[in-house]
Structure 1
Amino acid sequence: MSNQETLEFQAEARQLLQLMVHSIYSNKDIFLRELISNASDALDKLRLESMRNKDLDVDTSDLHIAIDVDKEARTLTVRDNGIGMSRDDVVDLIGTIAKSGTAELLRKLKESKETSQDSIGQDFIGQFGVGFYSTFMVATKVELVTRRAGETEGTRWESSGEGTYVIETVEDAAQGTAVTVHLKAEDQEDHLYDYTADWKIREIVKRYSDFIAFPIRLSGESDALNSMKALWARPRSEVEQSEYNEFYKHISHDWTDPLETIHMKGEGVFEYEALLFIPSRAPFDLHMRDGKRGVQLYVKRVFIMDDCEALMPSYLRFVKGVVDAHDLSLNISREILQHDRQIQVVRRRLVKKVLSTIKDLQANDAEKYATIWKEFGRAIKEGFLEDPENQDALLGVLSVASTHDAAEPTTLARYVERMKDGQKDIYYVTGESRTMIENSPHLEAFRAKGYEVLILTDPVDEVWVERVTEFDGKPLQSIAKGQVDLGSSEEETASAREEFADFLPWMTATLTDEVKEVRLSSRLTTSPACIVGDEHDMTPTLEKMYRAMGQEVPHTKRILELNPGHPLVTGLRAAHAANAENPALKETAELLHGMALLAEGGELKDPARFTRLLADRLASAL
């Protein structure tokens, strides 16, 4: 039975293949590393499935990866006796890129192609999980024959990477998967890229796949090309950093070296080994809902599951690695893991170790520390919402922008060291961008008096600052909420209140639909007015975020603060004192409120009315 079909690749996959086929790469060896990694994953999955499904009739006594070459036919085949694939699996996993973020991948690939073709293969092939497609760097045609464990029929797939592929059902397929690469003639003529040469295959396996847990055998040989030693089980003193780097690339499908390696061992009542990595850059799916998270779980060297969420909190989802537990059941499920006491103990230790590693980098390697916050800062700050147990540790490693230095972020500890004599609070402000914040009237008096203000522009900042109240005994205070005391004399304040005693209630009544109160400000020096919130009010940005998530929240009226020394404000007060019934006063009050709203980046309720009032006022002034 053939049941042969010729199908087209998904549009994004077709574009990706064209980039693969027609680009030049500095390191084509990646294709063999990726095929071996895929085979290793298939063997892991079969071993686990055979433990869970006792009715599955499979032989797991000699799980291995074989590499066969045919010099005359110029082919290289990587075969495994692992879990295999069904026909639907093949179409889903190879005929398409069934993952979110494909458009972003293609954009970055094309940008790299325009700037440096070498970086396409090195930077993106593995990271985006499209390792199988890398075979088309060296192939004129690729054939795949596979049969899923437990099924009787197999599937054959073939493509030259030109936009279509042929798929058919076959009856004589061995369990597992065999990928045959028909090599380009020009590669075989160059001895450096002769992938039918034994020495070349040995070199690639030793460099990239020595730690694979299953034997990798060359055709006609019984000895394994790889050592099969679990890196995490070896003493750190016996492992080269290059070995760590290659292991990281294997489990993460990233091509770049990790930023930091964490090798730890837990002893006592519950024994485990852990090998964790902090990547040097964020994966494309870091902030996607269906992005991968968690580390791999092994039990006594036996692979149990990918992306074990029970071992690593969501805010540290960028951390990659493995945890090998000694005392868990091989049949443990994700549901049981969530409530397993021993797993919870390991999780706490892993989190504390990751955070202490970031703390060490903060003290000893400014460049790596800055990279962590540039790449993963938004995710780490989610920890303030998820992990109150480690709030102090998170505050200790926090890096935020500040008015102290436009180019260099600061830590809270360094902020506290620079606090002015008599300053009690740590001042901060949230907003959509640094530029918008720096032009905000809220900063005027703080800048004039030399107070440093933290600048928080990530969406998550709007939420976590509501949960975290202090650092090192110093309260965190928003400069856009509540009253601020910047040292105005009591005499000046009392005098201003007396002058505006009649005006402020009128202004409040005039704008009652928009604001809850109009009062005098001590935070303004050059602007006529600004909008602030009460101490515990929800910010407009947070309101907007909740509504975007489908949650209805009541609109919060805010406070309009006036600069008692600004000519517009003093002029409006004087006009009110002269003739409170003048209809132009109410329009001017509306304009003043609208100007304050725009100055902080807010949205006008009725832009057309504001524009009309402004035009009329300008015309009358001419």
Structure 2
Amino acid sequence: MSSQVHEFQAEARQLLDLVVHSIYSNKDSFLRELISNASDALDKLRLETLRDKELVADTTDLHVRLTPAAEPRTLTVSDNGIGMSRDEVIELIGTVAKSGTAQLRQALSEAGDASSSEELIGQFGIGFYSVFMVADRVSMVTRKAGESVGTRWESTGDGTYTIDDVADAPQGTSITLSLKPVDVENAVHDYADPQVLRGLVKRYSDFIAWPIRMTETVSVPAEEEGGEPTTEEADATLNSQKALWAKNKDEVSEEEYTEFYRHISHNWDSPLEVISLHAEGTFEYQALLFLPTQAPFDMFMRERSSSLHLYVRRVFIMDDCPELMPEYLRFVQGVVDANDLSLNVSREILQQDRQIRAIRRRLVKKVIGTVQELQDRKPEDYATFWSAFGKVFKEGLVNDPDNFQAVLKASVFETTHSATEPTSLADYVARCPADQKVIYYMTGESRQQIEHSPHLEGFRAKGIEVLLLSDPVDELWTSQMPEFDDRQFVSVAKGEAALDDEDTDEDTERDAEFAGLLEWLTGVLDQDVSATRLSKRLTDSAACLVGDTFSMSPQLEKLYRASGQEVPHMKRVLELNADHPLVTGLAEAYTGGGDDHAALEPTAKLIYAMALLAEGGELTDPAEFAKLLSDTLVAGLK
């Protein structure tokens, strides 16, 4: 196929410009990106040869090579890994395949400085473009293992690239950068200097499992005394190749952990917490896990994959092993190295493997325990974690019944106790009066909506703390009637509010006084309410709607309908505040109106609609409500 000129996909062209001119504060990052990609290519080749015994590929000396040249100033980063086909080059380099491009552009435009912008790049997987920060031209030659013809890709980063076939390309990928002049004022290194490259590899990529080599000129002592030393070319390995997960935590520096985390996650933040496990016995494995500082852009996307890399006896198997971690812990990054699995293990085998299930149980408990330790010992770090991952973590309350109590204990919730600080359930219980044996909560679409709900009035008046649960997942786990510390969760929007002691004679007389009105209202509003009663939870509002103890909340109904599931409309109880002027006025009109109460029906319907709107509900017929309100207002002006 002849040479062709292509334009970058529009989104890729815009992002390329942002990366080159706006984002990276540390231009050394390009080398880390290229070495990381080369390491991935070597991993994938070894794995593919295990899976496909017919694959024609040379695996005798897999490595990464750096080749600097002073004149002309170039740097070549090459590997003899899996390589890419022509179509893969166009797909992976010429376009931004991931969704979320628009979000990235917006996030970059809103980032306040270069360092915060830099952290965004790893989340969107476009680190290859960083080569144009240091190069005027980039040339890549690649041949996929098993194919006979290679591909050359070249670009100056100006919005176009050329691509053509190469008949004699070696297996793997070779990327040559025509370097820009050294910018001493901005502390840009000379990337054609072997000593600079040696230092950067040691700093950022020392743990890479494959040898990173560079040919260097070394001095050779004279053979005879008094003779002149000579020089010769020697192949040097720049990295130690030591697996960090095999080391004890006190043997690894914080910087080493940070660079390894960035390598496996392709993120640019620093890890919030490092979790190291060394298990011996029936199942032997090592694991090195990280809690990130910030969430990736695709955290809530369906295609979001697991972030755990699986190795078997230091041999890379896969970089997205969902069998090792449940979906609600999908933010965890890291490596698991098992000793007793087969090297050609498949995903189907993993799903049934007893050892994998045992490892998963241990990892899950360790991660949840680490979150709990953050909550107890590092409140600032815990606040960072919860802000980024709290909504995801709470999915475990629905999806992981075996660890429900542990997840519940490690979670925090907004509460009427504080306008800014969420509370753990342990702290909620510690603040409870001695005679309160339940945990009160209310769900809704936002904290503001819940706080303005009439249902809270009586609890607020008596100083009773209520959890304010506004995440969609809260509707699901609270519907399971859970307990914590032998205390049931009780919704303040369901059942009768137990805010008073036993009924008094005054209560009995009041119930009798309103009995006729309550019965009449139930009949008028039969399509919407199951009953009408006087309220013990209202202090300011005229009315509110209350569900039965075991009924589905309106928000949960809405969630099910949004997911395509039809659920029957649940009638609720209309509660009235007997001390509210609107209710007392309606009662007087009802008593003094004889047997004909038709004129009061609009007021009854308005009271129901007001109660529905006050809790954030939606009217089934807004036009009817508007007409009723208009007619009532007009009548009041006469």
Structure 2-normalised TM-score?
0.95
User: Identity of paired residues, percent?
Assistant: 59
Say if 1:614 and 1:599 are closer, same or farther in 2 by CA, change over 3 A.
same
Structure 1 partner of 2:137 = 141
Structure 1 partner of 2:117 = 120
Deviation at 1:224? 0.8
- 2:603 is equivalent to residue 588 of structure 1: yes
- 2:328 is equivalent to residue 329 of structure 1: no
Match of 2:161 among 162, 165, 174: 165
- 2:204 is equivalent to residue 198 of structure 1: no
- 2:263 is equivalent to residue 264 of structure 1: no
Match of 2:549 among 514, 535, 540: 535
- 2:624 is equivalent to residue 609 of structure 1: yes
- 2:207 is equivalent to residue 211 of structure 1: yes
Structure 2 partner of 1:340 = 353
Structure 1 stretch displaced more, 74-83 or 485-494: 485-494
- The structure with the largest alpha-carbon Rg is 2
Structure 1 partner of 2:21 = 22
Deviation at 1:192? 4.1
Letter in 1 for 2:409: G
Determine if contact 1:156/1:170 at 8 Å carries over to the other structure. yes
Q: Structure 2 CA distance, aligned partners of 1:441 and 1:593?
A: 13
Q: Structure 1 CA distance, aligned partners of 2:266 and 2:18?
A: 19
Q: Structure 1 CA distance, aligned partners of 2:116 and 2:434?
A: 52
Say if 1:495 and 1:4 are closer, same or farther in 2 by CA, change over 3 A.
farther
Q: Structure 2 CA distance, aligned partners of 1:4 and 1:453?
A: 69
Determine if contact 1:488/1:522 at 8 Å carries over to the other structure. no
CA RMSD of aligned residues (A): 1.4
**Paired positions, count:** 618
Structure 1 stretch displaced more, 234-243 or 35-44: 234-243
Structure 1 stretch displaced more, 163-172 or 377-386: 163-172
Structure 2 partner of 1:439 = 452
Say if 1:513 and 1:150 are closer, same or farther in 2 by CA, change over 3 A.
same
Q: Structure 1 CA distance, aligned partners of 2:428 and 2:213?
A: 59
Say if 1:188 and 1:4 are closer, same or farther in 2 by CA, change over 3 A.
farther
Structure 1 partner of 2:435 = 422
Q: Structure 2 CA distance, aligned partners of 1:131 and 1:430?
A: 42
Letter in 2 for 1:343: I
Provide structure 1 residue ranges, at least 5 long, that are not aligned to the other structure.
Answer: none
Q: Structure 2 CA distance, aligned partners of 1:582 and 1:518?
A: 17
Deviation at 1:95? 1.0
Structure 1 partner of 2:77 = 78
1:92-131 mapped onto 2 (5 Å cutoff): 92-112=91-111, 115-121=112-118, 123-131=119-127
Letter in 1 for 2:519: P
Deviation at 1:54? 0.7
3-state SS of 1:502 partner: helix
Deviation at 1:5? 2.0
Determine if contact 1:188/1:195 at 8 Å carries over to the other structure. no
Say if 1:25 and 1:131 are closer, same or farther in 2 by CA, change over 3 A.
closer
Structure 2 partner of 1:597 = 612
Deviation at 1:336? 1.0
Q: Structure 1 CA distance, aligned partners of 2:377 and 2:608?
A: 49
Match of 2:383 among 370, 379, 383: 370
Q: Structure 1 CA distance, aligned partners of 2:279 and 2:127?
A: 34
Match of 2:518 among 475, 500, 504: 504
Determine if contact 1:153/1:173 at 8 Å carries over to the other structure. yes
Q: Structure 2 CA distance, aligned partners of 1:142 and 1:475?
A: 64
Determine if contact 2:305/2:330 at 8 Å carries over to the other structure. yes
Structure 2 partner of 1:56 = 55
What's the CA shift string for 1:333-377, capped at 9, x where partnerless?
A: 111111111111110000111111111111111111111111111
3-state SS of 2:58 partner: coil
Moved beyond 6 Å, runs of 4+: 188-191
Deviation at 1:421? 3.2
3-state SS of 1:423 partner: coil
1:186-335 mapped onto 2 (5 Å cutoff): 186-187=182-183, 192-220=188-216, 221-335=234-348
Deviation at 1:197? 0.8
Determine if contact 2:306/2:321 at 8 Å carries over to the other structure. yes
Deviation at 1:23? 2.3
Letter in 2 for 1:592: I
Structure 1 partner of 2:507 = 493
Say if 1:495 and 1:315 are closer, same or farther in 2 by CA, change over 3 A.
same
Structure 2 partner of 1:184 = 180
1:555-594 mapped onto 2 (5 Å cutoff): 555-579=569-593, 580-594=595-609
Q: Structure 1 CA distance, aligned partners of 2:399 and 2:283?
A: 25
3-state SS of 2:83 partner: coil
Provide structure 2 residue ranges, at least 5 long, that are not aligned to the other structure.
Answer: 217-233
Q: Structure 1 CA distance, aligned partners of 2:7 and 2:26?
A: 29
Structure 1 stretch displaced more, 290-299 or 20-29: 20-29
Structure 2 partner of 1:476 = 489
